[in-house]
Structure 1
């Protein structure tokens, strides 16, 4: 016989109250995913270098066309506030100082995975699709590939492309911006 345990899901408001009450601190590497407070994978040196490289590449190529958010929260409905490695956001004069960006503010999310690729594929990327994020890149450092997810639906992304070393990729929102996998992976 299987016993079902009732889970109590947290809202983003309750999650922020835990931070204000110091139950959680900004030093805790956690994020709210579908109502659960989830530990994030530690950031290794290859992962950190890739995030820095992407940040620099995107800034050089996009300039003022988008805001680059690095490991900051994205508010996705009542029960999720993931912290993707990078997000390209619609520019706003207040730099989202009044509230975290929401799905409609996001141009692109990039997750860099050294050891978390399967979790990202099974949990985070479907979450982004459910909330209508137009484009997600998964930089899989172990496999040395970049997966490009486009055309979100409630069932997931309808389009998946894989790029490996020697190939290039473009952003759906900025097709004139071309980068190579080699530039991203280093």
Structure 2
């Protein structure tokens, strides 16, 4: 008969934070201004540094969306959104329903979001395996994932509790449009 080692350590308990607790931490100065964190499923996660390919792709994409959409939607760049009571991610871009207050009174929620764009050079697995299912489960209608190394865009739509039901891959020569604005066409070359 072998002995079993049972560890009972109160330090192993995990505390899940709410978005209200997380926002209060920021307001009271728990994090340095330069810190890059996001709240995912109650856990505070450190975000990767932004590389040059990533930064250039976000800047280019932001500019094209602002030009093409004008006042029909609001381009929310690398700012927090509230997905649910335990998740406040910071997607690279969120295309939001237009609001005259520029979301000054409350952060955007899934009801405000038309499209999420995540740009990845070193975080492709995290964005695909953690953030994409989170967005789908919370009803965000569409997500695009830019892989800046492979220069591929993955498009996801038809959210469900188990993930997005429809996936499409875009490469050089392809065109894309947001489900909310099907008449607005983006060329792959404009985004890469």
How does the TM-score come out when normalised to structure 2?
Answer: 0.93
Cα 1:3–1:56 change in 2 (3 A) is: farther
Aligned CA distance change for structure 1 residues 24 and 2 (closer, same or farther; 3 Å): farther
CA distance in 1 between partners of 2:32 and 2:97 (Å): 28
Q: Which of 160, 166, 176 is 2:167 aligned to?
A: 160
User: How much has 1:41 moved relative to structure 2?
Assistant: 1.1
1:2 positional shift: 8.5
11, 32, 35: which is aligned to 2:18?
11
Structure 1: 4+ residue segments shifted above 4 A: 1-4
Is 2:40 aligned against 1:33? Answer: yes
In 2, Cα distance between equivalents of 1:40 and 1:127: 16
TM-score of the superposed pair, with normalisation by structure 1: 0.96
Indicate yes or no: 2:84 matched with 1:77: yes
Partner Cα distance (1:179, 1:38) in 2: 32
CA RMSD of aligned residues (A): 1.4
User: Which residue in the other structure is 1:169 paired with?
Assistant: 176
- Deviation string, structure 1 residues 115-163 (Cα, Å, up to 9, x no partner): 1010000100000001100000000111210000000000000000001
Unaligned stretches of 5+ in structure 1?
none
The Cα shift of 1:167 comes to 1.1
Whether 1:96 and 2:103 are equivalent positions in the alignment is yes
Residue 146 of structure 2: aligned partner:
139
Mind listing any 5+ residue stretches in structure 2 that lack a counterpart? none
CA separation in 2, counterparts of 1:136 and 1:26?
A: 28
Structure-1 residue corresponding to 2:51: 44
Distance in 2, Cα, partners of 1:2 & 1:90: 53
Instruction: Decide which structure has the larger Cα Rg and report it.
Output: 2
Who is 2:190 aligned against?
A: 183
2:133 counterpart SS class: helix
How far is the alpha carbon of 1:3 from its aligned partner? Answer: 6.1
